[in-house]
Structure 1
Amino acid sequence: MTELHLARHVPGGDPVLLLLHGLGATGEVWHDLLERNWPGEVIAPDLPGHGRSPRLPDYTFESMTAAVAAAVPAGRRVVVLGHSLGGVLALMLADGTYGFDVTAACGLGIKLRWSEAELAKAAEVAARPERVFATRDEAVDRWLKVSGLVGLVPPDSPRVAAGVVESDDGWRVAVDAKAFGVGAPDVPMLLTRAKGETVLAAGERDPMCPREHLVEVVPSPVVLPGIGHNAHVESPLSLWPILDRLLASATDALGQ
């Protein structure tokens, strides 16, 4: 089983808050969200093929979810907040078949509609050979673009360090391009399988997950005013009302 790199905060205690980043990023994107304390343990892994975590031979929602699940001790009560690809994995974990009880889950900024052209483009990206850059600055510039963090995270931020890696022949982006071929999720199906409370949310200005797409899937999505795709980086505190809601669900479940 793939052992993911984990950032752990406040070890011990339920409910565990599991934070899952989006495609191309690392667990470091959640750093500013943790300025407000969560009452239990917080785990923010680098997803398979991202940052400091090892790669998978094949990327599917199932294989990535299984790798994430292995990072959570069995029998724990868990709240999951996932962004984009991580949001899909959060909903998959919510079906209760991975050895721990997901009492509540939120998918933030999940792309709900995929055209054939978009899927073909993603497959083409996944098949590209890995690029080698002469300098760290070039690799950082590429990683910021791949992760969608241009303009949100400065190139000299310590949050960038896990996104690039030096090798004998130069610098590389710490993202396995094959992960881009994971495909399109069936979010309505995942919602029907979830055992606990589920929330779909997106920034008001998120072009990948506009409100009209959300309301086709859930009647009352959470739309964050004035925010784009990376709400957890742009405005971390705007997510705390969602976390308060998920925590209330988890607390109720713990009291049963």
Structure 2
Amino acid sequence: MSNDLRVRAGGDGGPVLLLLHGLGATGDVWAGWEPQLARHWPGRWLAPDLPGHGGSASLASYTFDTLAEAVRPLVEPGVRTVVLGHSLGGVVALALAARAPVAAVIGLGIKVVWNDEELERAQALARRPVSWFDTREEALTRHLRVSGLAGLIAGDDPAAQSGIRAEDGRWRLALDPAAFGVGAPDMPGLIAGSPATVTLARGENDPMNTDAQLGRLRVPVVTLGGLGHNAHVESPPQCLALLGGIGAAQGPAHRP
């Protein structure tokens, strides 16, 4: 495993479930999955902080490819690996599948349609310097808002705590602002380049995407009733059902 990544892990043996969080969050966002995984997942699971998030090192440049390369060491040759990624993590999962022996990818809550105004706003955020806060509470409030977790988790939740950092008596987000500059994904290209099976999923109430937008990508789409963008936080059992029997199934061979 890469020494540049902070990784939560559990379980034993194979297959391996790799869980990739969304922009602004950390690997702790999957903490609510642990009891379910202990009962229903037959092997190990790994939940890294993506580069520039939580306790992982920053990158000189943030692209889907550089993020995928950073997590690539977590995929072991000869071990069946399934990747479930949320939002940004779902795109990274697709980029990873093109370069590592991944059997299946589940992309949850991926924003697949972007307009110029949204992209310009993201680039402006990427150019901003780090914001500093005088109190821990102010930093926590900003982290929960940026990560979309406000109202879903408490300030003492590990997913909240790992998203902020204290330095010289002040507080900041652990998130590297430059990560906002990752851009819009080429979803048709990423899906075409993945030798792994691909499933897309969304919460019924997710404002980031629609059934029609995902349906145009010509892969299986699952809509999770009553859930929003952070469906994996709102209902781990409902989202875990996306895996079905995928852990034990035989996936396609990886094309180099």
TM-score above 0.5: yes
Q: Deviations over 1:177-198 (max 9, x none)?
A: 0000000001111111221211
Residue aligned with 2:33, SS: helix
Partner amino acid, structure 2, of 1:196: A
Asked if 1:66 is matched to 2:64, the reply is no
SS of the counterpart of 1:229? coil
Alignment of 1:2-21 (within 5 A): 3-11=4-12, 13-21=13-21
- Give 3-state SS (helix, strand or coil) of 1:171's partner: strand
> What amino acid does structure 2 have at the position aligned with 1:90?
A
Identity %: 48
Does 1:76 pair with 2:74? no
Give me the whole-angstrom Cα distance separating, in 2, the residues matched to 1:220 and 1:53: 32
Letter aligned with residue 86 of structure 2: H
Q: 1:34-45 counterparts in 2 under 5 A?
A: 34-36=34-36, 37=38, 38-45=41-48
Q: Which residue of 2 aligns with 1:85?
A: 88
Q: Deviations over 1:208-233 (max 9, x none)?
A: 01212111113641000110000100
Q: Distance in 1 between matches of 2:62 and 2:189?
A: 20
Write the distance in 2 (CA, Å) between the matches of 1:51 and 1:204: 29
Residue 19 of structure 1: SS of its match in structure 2? strand
Indicate the residue corresponding to 1:160 in structure 2.
Answer: 160
Q: Secondary structure at the match of 2:9?
A: strand
The 8 Å contact of residues 152 and 234 in structure 1, kept in 2 or not, is answered as: yes
Amino acid at match of 1:179: A
Runs of 5+ in structure 1 lacking a partner?
A: none
Q: Which runs of 5+ in 2 are unaligned?
A: none
> How far did 1:2 drift?
6.4
CA distance in 1, matches of 2:226, 2:218: 21
1:246 shift after superposition: 2.5
What is residue 235 of structure 2 aligned with on the other side? 235
Q: CA deviation at 1:29?
A: 0.7
Cα distance in 1 for partners of 2:158, 2:8 equals 14
In the TM superposition, what whole-angstrom CA distance separates every residue of 1:21-73 from its partner, at most 9, and x where no partner exists? 00000001111122222111100000000000010011011111000112333
Which aligned pairs between 1:25-64 and structure 2 lie closer than 5 A?
25-36=25-36, 37=38, 38-64=41-67
Please, what TM-score do these two structures have when normalized by structure 1? 0.92
1:124-135 → structure 2 map (5 Å cutoff): 124-135=124-135
Matched residue, 1:117: 117
Give the distance between the partners of 1:122 and 1:70, measured in 2 at CA. Answer: 28
Q: What letter is aligned with 1:202?
A: R
TM-score of the pair, normalised by structure 2 = 0.92
Distance (Å, rounded) in 2 between the aligned partners of 1:2 and 1:66:
13
Q: What do residues 104-133 of structure 1 show as CA deviations (whole Å, max 9, x unaligned)? A: 110000000000110000000000111110
Kept in 2: contact 1:18–1:44 (CA 8 A): yes
